[in-house]
Amino acid sequence: MRVRRISGIVTLAVATSVLLAGCGGGSTDSAETSAETETSATEEVATEDDGQSTTVTMAWGNVASQLDPSVFTGLADVYNMAQYCTTLVEYDAAVAAEGKTFLPGDVTGNLAESWEADAAGTSYTFKLREGVVSSWGNPLTSADVKWSFDRMSAGSPIVSGILMPIANINQEKSIEVIDDLTFKMNLTEPSAVAIAVLTHPTMCILDAVKAQAEATADDPWASTWLGTNTASFGPYLVESIDPGQEIRYAAMPGYFGDPVFFQNAIVRMVPEGANRTQLLLASEVDLITDTPFDKLAQIAESDNAKVLLTADVNRHTLSLNTKDPQLADPRVRKAISLAINRDAFLDSIYAGYADAAPDGLPSAMNFPASNRPNSYDPEQAKALLAEAGADGMTLQITTNNGRPGPFAEDLGRLLVADLQAVGINATLNPIASEADFEKAVGEKSLQSWLYTERPAVADSGYIFNLYLGSKSFLNNTGFANDEFDAYVKTIVSTDAGPERDAAIAAAQDMVQDLVPSVYLTEASDIASSLNDIQGYNMYPHGATVIGELSRG
């Protein structure tokens, strides 16, 4: 029987033998890494014995190359920011402890102790906590919030290009200072996700006093200094950074929140999942991220380590270029979805740690299923291809180990077999370089490609807007439909209730019929740790929050 993805953190034992995130995480195993390099990495990573249990050592698939929260070079930047950056609000960790998926309403105060919407829903008034000081000793004020938001609007691709537009935050006048501890956040129109997007680590509030002291006429936002230094209010300081290789953290004295258990943390890059697994089983690291599916049984059956599986809204997809002449007809795209036997590769590729994803929204969000899910039906697929005059069409599927993971080519081969069985001449196009692959995806030059969707906010309006909105920065399929955009606008700007539910259902049915992406599986980013590591939670942004970990 397949091991179903379940909510909460559990240790799993399975008999059978990773993957990403989207604005929210992803596997960084690379086919380009040589055996010699990996052997060297394995030998170099070891837990440092400082005679204490207050240092935690982790092996991640990738490590950030810089520290500026407004610079995005990859998801490793986000994972790094989550350690030293502090946001106005955060997801309530108790939700994970209860085994639930984080939804937009599961937010609690962080730097802000309270907030209240106005009657029209077009602004929120926030009250900051008193007595919060930065790592440089400067007190938190509303001026820090305004300067940080202005800086994000001026140059953060994630915040200004994705989070603020989706949340209807008014970038021209986002923050109005009322007094030292009170400010107003303005929206262009009501938003059901405006508070939830503030949890993302890139919405980092900086110590404006320190940052402005390091600014110059040529660098008014102190970008050069912030690339190698931190000026924030979070639980850790960056003690040192070897770009792309290692980051060392130290607990920040005077942190306003709950004291952290680990006074020091070491994160090192080990690109290959097999080597991360080896280090964990040898007790040379405390925790690894992006555990390969084929290593999960070995870890779960070991004496010293455990698998950490959490509720998530991560999905692996076969994305389709809707502007491609052969894929412009939605009947063809629907036929491709119907031709794929998702259940067949859940065990062979995912070792039972995934579920089929034939629907327009992740099942963990608890929305009603679509009225017409695209389940396996090869005969209907053949009929649609014949109706569209697409018999014998060609389809090139591009793969890369970065998304959805090192198993991408194996998954691609199974898809090719399914598609060929209904008369589609499918072939694989592996691209070794993750940078080249992501560039091609962004340029919309591929016909189809295996990918991952991992939204930072588990909300239908956010997800539909992020990946399929006609003006979205991350809409790589080229899908554009005015009626769909109108439904999404209603979803984003309307509170829970019948009107919003009707718009969600209509948008979901359109996705099922028009099929801009083929949803394949729901599969979490799976971490693993030594048995004595406690407090692990996976958040929608995909980062391991070191400050919540303990040993016991």
Q: Give the pLDDT band (50/70/90) at residue 72.
A: confident
Residue 14 placed within a domain: no
149 with 288, same domain: the answer is no
Which residue reads 């943390």 in tokens?
265
How much is the pLDDT for 305? 97
Regarding beta strands 550-551 and 533-534, do their DSSP bridges make them parallel or antiparallel, or are they unpaired?
antiparallel
389 with 507, same domain: the answer is yes
Q: What average pLDDT score do residues 482-505 get? A: 92
Element (H, E) at 113: strand 112-117
Residue 488 placed within a domain: yes
Q: What average pLDDT score do residues 499-514 get? A: 92
Nearest in space to 411 (alpha carbons), one of 351, 465, 483 = 351
262 with 144, same domain: the answer is no
How much is the pLDDT for 257? 94
How much is the pLDDT for 5? 30
425 with 537, same domain: the answer is no
Residue 17 placed within a domain: no
> The CATH number of the domain where 186 resides is what?
3.90.76.10
Q: Give the pLDDT band (50/70/90) at residue 279.
A: very high
297 with 408, same domain: the answer is no
pLDDT, tens digit, 9 for 90 and up, residues 430-469: 998 877 888 899 899 999 999 988 888 888 999 999 999 9
DSSP states along 363-392: GGG-PPPPSS-----HHHHHHHHHHTT-TT
What does the alpha-carbon distance between residue 237 and residue 253 come to, in Å, rounded to a whole number?
A: 9
> Which pTM does this prediction carry?
0.83
514 with 531, same domain: the answer is no
Residue 206 placed within a domain: yes
Q: How confident is the prediction for the chain on average, in pLDDT? A: 87
60 with 139, same domain: the answer is no
Percentage of residues of the chain with pLDDT beyond 70 = 89
Q: What average pLDDT score do residues 190-207 get? A: 95
> The CATH number of the domain where 302 resides is what?
3.40.190.10
Q: What average pLDDT score do residues 531-548 get? A: 91
Sign of CA dihedral 410, 360, 7, 57: positive
Question: What residue numbers bound the domain in which 262 lies?
Answer: 35-68+76-82+234-310+526-551
530 with 542, same domain: the answer is yes
3-state secondary structure 310-338: CCCCCEEEEEECCCCCCCCCHHHHHHHHH
pLDDT, tens digit, 9 for 90 and up, residues 287-318: 999 898 889 999 999 999 999 987 778 899 99
How much is the pLDDT for 52? 52
Q: What average pLDDT score do residues 344-350 get? A: 90
Residue 6 placed within a domain: no
The answer, yes or no, to whether residue 177 has pLDDT greater than 50, is yes
Residue 220 placed within a domain: no
pLDDT, tens digit, 9 for 90 and up, residues 381-440: 999 999 999 988 999 999 998 788 888 999 999 999 999 999 999 999 999 887 788 889
What does the alpha-carbon distance between residue 431 and residue 397 come to, in Å, rounded to a whole number?
A: 10
Counting the structural domains of the chain, the total is: 3
Q: Considering 180, 213, 246, which residue would you say is the last residue of a domain? A: 213
Sign of CA dihedral 92, 181, 256, 214: positive
How much is the pLDDT for 373? 65
Return the minimum-mean-pLDDT range out of 8-22, 252-266, 383-397.
Answer: 8-22
390 with 472, same domain: the answer is yes
56 with 173, same domain: the answer is no
- In this structure, the chain runs to a length of 552
DSSP states along 500-522: HHHHHHHHHHHHHHH-SEEEEEE
468 with 360, same domain: the answer is yes
The answer, yes or no, to whether residue 6 has pLDDT greater than 80, is no
Residue 342 placed within a domain: yes
What does the alpha-carbon distance between residue 354 and residue 345 come to, in Å, rounded to a whole number?
A: 10
How much is the pLDDT for 539? 85
Nearest in space to 369 (alpha carbons), one of 519, 521, 505, 522 = 505
What does the alpha-carbon distance between residue 214 and residue 219 come to, in Å, rounded to a whole number?
A: 9
How much is the pLDDT for 235? 96
pLDDT, tens digit, 9 for 90 and up, residues 471-484: 888 899 999 999 99
Please tell me which residue, 547 or 26, carries the higher pLDDT value. Answer: 547
Q: Give the pLDDT band (50/70/90) at residue 371.
A: low
How much is the pLDDT for 38? 36
Given a contact cutoff of 8 angstroms between Cβ atoms, the answer to whether 455 and 55 are in contact is: no
The answer, yes or no, to whether residue 2 has pLDDT greater than 70, is no
The answer, yes or no, to whether residue 22 has pLDDT greater than 80, is no
337 with 305, same domain: the answer is no
Residue 26 placed within a domain: no
Q: What average pLDDT score do residues 342-356 get? A: 90
Q: What average pLDDT score do residues 347-368 get? A: 83
How much is the pLDDT for 369? 63
Q: Give the pLDDT band (50/70/90) at residue 51.
A: very low
Percentage of residues of the chain with pLDDT beyond 90 = 67
Given a contact cutoff of 8 angstroms between Cβ atoms, the answer to whether 299 and 284 are in contact is: no
